[in-house]
A and B are shown apart, each in its own frame.
Chain A
């Protein structure tokens, strides 16, 4: 799947996007897999209250949402538009 990072999440991880092969079945599982990869991921996801998630460009609320059929997962801080 394709992982996308925006704003300070992108800066902490050091990448705007990457392809990542994962067996995770939920968003929560994917996050714990990423946190185990390297410190920069662990740091980026250390405060989940500051992270928002979109699956195939749709915002989700529940981190237990299934990743089945999902091709793009985006992680970013709370949005500041307007």
Chain B
């Protein structure tokens, strides 16, 4: 299990390649990457992500362990950035390795749903004329009920 909470950018291809290597018994590798999306009016200057050092790592580890209990997984990787990010920047990635694809896909989705509304990160959007804290969406909360 590899959990990284960092302000530095990461190179998706290299990390995915490294994660996917050396798993002779894992028939399925799933990766998900979240990217900063510009606003509908293309005016997002940057996004600032705040987190709760200590709790963030613990919370992600808890959910990664839950995923390992629920699905047959060989390995899990979660990277989540904080600090200033601009449109097009990669915010986070999840990778799962499993003997079969259903486990890898479901565990990745489970982790994404929990990272969204149970890991202590908060996003602030900054445009030329305003600063807004992103509000949690009820559908993100509802998504947890399927697990």
Identify the A interface with B (CB < 8 A): 4, 6-8, 54, 57-59, 74, 76-82
Which chain B residue shows the least CB distance to A57? B55
Provide 28 A-B residue pairs closer than 8 Å at the C-beta atoms, listed in order of the A residue.
A6-B50, A6-B122, A7-B122, A54-B52, A54-B120, A57-B58, A57-B59, A59-B59, A74-B55, A76-B120, A77-B122, A78-B136, A79-B117, A79-B119, A79-B122, A80-B116, A80-B117, A80-B121, A80-B123, A80-B133, A80-B134, A80-B136, A81-B80, A81-B116, A82-B34, A82-B116, A82-B117, A82-B121
Given contacts A7-B133, A77-B136, A79-B118, list 10 more A-B pairs with CB under 8 A: A54-B52, A79-B119, A79-B122, A80-B116, A81-B115, A82-B91, A82-B112, A82-B116, A82-B117, A82-B119
Which chain A residue shows the least CB distance to B57? A57
How many A-B pairs with Cβ below 8 Å? Answer: 72
Within 8 A of A (CB), among B52-74: 52, 54-55, 58-59
Chain B interfacial residues counted at CB < 8 A: 28
Which chain A residue shows the least CB distance to B49? A81
Identify the B interface with A (CB < 8 A): 34, 50-52, 54-55, 58-59, 80, 91-92, 112, 115-124, 133-136, 140-141
**Least CB distance, A40 to chain B, in whole angstroms:** 17
**Least CB distance, A51 to chain B, in whole angstroms:** 12
**Least CB distance, B2 to chain A, in whole angstroms:** 18
Among A6, A54, A81, max chain B CB count under 10 A is at A81
